[in-house]
Structure formats: structure tokens, C-alpha cells
Amino acid sequence: MDALTLIATVSIVTAGLTIAIGSIGPSLGESRAAAQALQAIAQQPDEANTITRTLFVSLAMIESTAIYCFVVAMILLFANPFWNWAIEAAAPGAGG
């Protein structure tokens, strides 16, 4: 397996694994937060506005880790510096 194929294979596999494993934790965390918020609204319906606002802020914070994983996967697939370098290194050899 030459360097070009190796870089492509590892990038693709890593991108898939990153987003697959990275989204497990935030999903579990967000479901717990939503469940607690629903319970709190059921116990105190008057405070629903504050609880909802706090819930949205907490969801955004918890979502951050999943977004980091997604950004890494996107970079690996579409803006991969190692792939670009390998393509540039292979181009003179193929054209010459």
C-alpha cells in the first residue's frame, strides 16, 4: 500500500469513527438534560420560561463536543492537509 492510498484510507476510516463515537456522549447528555428539564417544568409550570431558556443554553454547551467531532470529520474529508501534500508530492512524479 503506497503512501497515497494509506493516507486516504486512514482519513476516511478516522472521519467515520470520529463522528460515530463522538456523537454518542453528547446525545446521552442532551437526553438527560431534556428529561430533567421536562420534569422541572412538570413540577413548576410557572417557571417554564426560565427552565426552557436554561435548557437551550445547556443543550448548546453539551452540543459543543459533538460539533468539535463533526468539524474534525469535515476537515479530514474535505480540507485534509496530508492529502493535499501527498497529491502535490505525487504530481511531479506522475507527470514527469
67 binds other proteins (CB under 8 A): yes
For the chain, the straight-line distance linking the first and the last C-alpha, in angstroms and rounded, comes to 22
Contact pick of 43, 79, 92, 93 for other proteins (by CB under 8 A) = 79
User: Is residue 66 within a helix (H) or strand (E), and if so which, with residue range?
Assistant: helix 48-78
Question: How many residues bind other proteins, per CB under 8 A?
Answer: 16
Residue 56 vs 96, nearer CB to other proteins: 56
Q: How far apart are CA 88 and CA 96, in angstroms?
A: 13
Region 2-61 residues binding other proteins, contact defined as CB under 8 A: 50, 53, 56-57, 60-61
Tell me which of 7, 8, 40, 63 binds other proteins, using CB under 8 A: 63
Please, are residues 19 and 69 in contact by the beta-carbon 8 Å criterion? yes
89 lies in the binding site for other proteins (CB under 8 A): no
Q: Taking each helix axis as running N to C, give the angle between helix 48-78 and helix 3-22, from 0 to 180 degrees, rounded to the nearest 10.
A: 170
Among 30, 70, 82, 83, binds other proteins (CB under 8 A): 70
